[in-house]
Amino acid sequence: MDALSDVLRIVSLTGSVFLDAEFSAPWCIAVHIGPHDCRPFMPEPTQIIPYHYVVQGELMAQVGDAAPVMLKEGEIVLFPRNDGHCLGSAIEPNPVRAGKLIERPHDGGLARIVHGGGGRQTRIACGFLGGDGQASPLLQTLPRMMCLNVGGTPGGDWIMQTFKAATHDIARSAPGATTVLSKMAELLFVEAVRRYVATLPEEQTGWLAGLRDPVVGRALALLHGQLSRAWTAEELARAVGLSRSAFADRFTGLIGQPPMHYLASWRMQVAAHRLRDARAAVAQIAYDVGYESEAAFTRAFKRHFGVPPASWRDQAKGRTGMPESSAQAVSTTMAKE
């Protein structure tokens, strides 16, 4: 498995759709999704990635002071760091807060917004991807706003038709329609990340940039693919065809930390994921992530997260997010671009 796929698997982002919106020009809204907004759909996530898919028409999207971006039918915009943002037929200085416009469903269906001045029509499906603190290192490497032309992705025409059909079914409260859109959003986020990696400039550093480097990318694939192996810096350097010092310099320069530090931190993330989602014994998890004894694993885990594995598992039961101290500890795993 390649390193990017491995990380995307571990962060376990889950999609949800919560709003069907119809606008008519002129209009402009301010959007921000908090953990409490996610309660009807999932336990409060630690990480939230809002998205908006343009079903019909076009709109402008802006985050912070960045230049607005035009989005047309068949395009999706995602906000990996959950920044507040504006959407509209044009970006205006005093947008309406989206929360004030939401019509809550009375029959268990989807919330709606119908708003605007009666001009050109735009329809969007709005949702979010929710995850736990393990997503944070990946999301920190992504831009504040990511746009993807769905039609330009593999199977794009089919995806666009499915989105349209699902939003039509949602309006009729047809069973299963929100699940279809949610799964589509998960796939499109992965595709957006892949496209972003492909467009990074050659001089870019950071974890995602490291995936493109033939040496560092190979090393990441080996570490992720053989996590339980007793790697040494020398052995890893030989596997990618460099001297130990040359490999260490190249890896650290791109990723931001030495290869063995990266491996130790990634092992802790995988262990935390297994503790939360699997019933395996602590000793088995320790072995699976490369520790020869449960005692050594417990010491490393407590040093990384602040609590022993058994306590961490107890705290995480019934929750999708990690304890706050654990989420903070993970944030240094991948270099911030």
227-264 pLDDT, tens digit per residue, is 899 999 999 999 999 999 999 999 999 998 999 999 99
Provide the number of structural domains found in the chain. 2
Assess if residue 127 is contained within a domain.
yes
**Last residue of a domain, which of 161, 176, 199?**
199
pTM as predicted: 0.71
Q: Is the peptide bond before 26 cis (omega within 30 degrees of 0)?
A: yes
- Say whether both 232 and 165 belong to one domain: no
Helices (H), 63-202: 136-140, 156-171, 177-199
Whole-number average pLDDT of the chain: 83
* Amino acid identity, position 267: R
Give the integer Cα–Cα distance in Å for 230 and 292: 9
- Say whether both 41 and 116 belong to one domain: yes
The tokens of 32 are what? Answer: 């921000």
- Output the domain CATH number for residue 229: 1.10.10.60
- Say whether both 280 and 320 belong to one domain: yes
Assess if residue 336 is contained within a domain.
no
Q: Bridge partners of 86?
A: 30, 62
Assess if residue 54 is contained within a domain.
yes
Q: Is 78 helix (H, G, I), strand (E, B) or coil?
A: strand
The tokens of 200 are what? Answer: 């990074």
Pick the more confident residue, 41 or 295: 295
Give the integer Cα–Cα distance in Å for 189 and 80: 9
Tell me if 112 sits within 8 A of 19, measured CB to CB: yes
- Say whether both 71 and 190 belong to one domain: yes
Tell me if 77 sits within 8 A of 99, measured CB to CB: no
Assess if residue 337 is contained within a domain.
no
141-162 pLDDT, tens digit per residue, is 889 999 998 877 777 788 778 7
What range does the domain containing 288 cover? 207-330
pLDDT of residue 320: 40
Distance of CA 335 to the CA centre of its chain: 16
pLDDT surpasses 80 at 306? yes
Assess if residue 128 is contained within a domain.
yes
- Say whether both 190 and 228 belong to one domain: no
Residue of 178, 160, 159 lying closest to 169 (CA atoms): 178
pLDDT surpasses 60 at 207? yes
- Say whether both 214 and 305 belong to one domain: yes
Query: Running DSSP on this structure, what letter comes out for residue 337?
Result: -
Confidence of residue 321 (pLDDT cuts 50, 70, 90): very low
Assess if residue 14 is contained within a domain.
yes
The tokens of 309 are what? Answer: 């594995």
Tell me if 77 sits within 8 A of 146, measured CB to CB: yes
Query: Running DSSP on this structure, what letter comes out for residue 17?
Result: E
pLDDT surpasses 50 at 330? no
Assess if residue 161 is contained within a domain.
yes
Q: Give DSSP secondary structure letters for 233-264.
A: HHHHHHHHTS-HHHHHHHHHHHHSS-HHHHHH
- Say whether both 136 and 257 belong to one domain: no
Tell me if 82 sits within 8 A of 33, measured CB to CB: yes
* Percent of the chain surpassing pLDDT 70: 85
59-117 pLDDT, tens digit per residue, is 999 999 999 999 999 999 999 989 999 999 999 999 999 999 999 877 656 788 999 99
- Say whether both 250 and 101 belong to one domain: no
